[in-house]
Amino acid sequence: MDVASLIERDEWKGIAVEKKQGPGLLRWRVPVLQPGDGDSHPTLIQVVWPYAEQGSAAMPSDQLFEELRVFEDRLCAAWEQDALAVLTAVLTFDGAKQWVFYTNDVQACTRRLNEMPQVEQPYPIEVTARPDGTWAFLRDEILRTVDTR
C-alpha cells in the first residue's frame, strides 16, 4: 500500500491509555506501513499543541477538544489533499496533543501551515521535523505496545 492509498482508505484504530503521567488517548491509521512502503515520505513531522503543564496529567476540556479537532481538520485538509503529508498517529496525554505526520517536502508543509486559516490568535503549536525514512518513530516509539492490525 502507498501513502496516497492510506490517506484515501482513512481507517483508524484508537485506545485509551494509562501511563505513569496519567490518562491519555492514542489513535493511529491502519494498516501501519512497513519499512519500504513509506519511502516516498521520509521525513517525520511532529506537531505538538501543549495545553497544560507537562507532568499535570491534564486532558483537554470539551471546548479545547473542539478547538483541537478543528485544527486537525484544517491541518489534514492542507497537508493530505495531494498526499504531501500523511497523518499516521495522534496522541493526547500529559498536557499536550501531538500529531505525527510523514512528508516528502517539509518546506511545502511549512508554507501550507502558514497559509492555513487561523483563529483569533496563532495556534500555540510546536513543529519539529527530522529524517525517519523507515517510519521507525511511529512503530518503535508510539505503536510498539499496541496491536496495530
Q: Are 117 and 66 in contact (CB under 8 A)?
A: no
Would you call 90 exposed, middle or buried from its count of C-beta atoms within 10 A (0-12, 13-18, 19+)?
buried
Phi and psi angles of residue 90, each rounded to the nearest 5 degrees, phi first? -135, 130
* pTM score, whole prediction: 0.94
pLDDT digit string (tens) for the chain, length 149 residues? 889 999 999 999 999 988 777 899 999 999 988 877 889 999 999 999 999 998 888 899 999 999 999 999 999 999 999 999 999 999 999 999 999 999 999 999 999 999 998 888 889 999 999 999 999 999 999 988 776 66
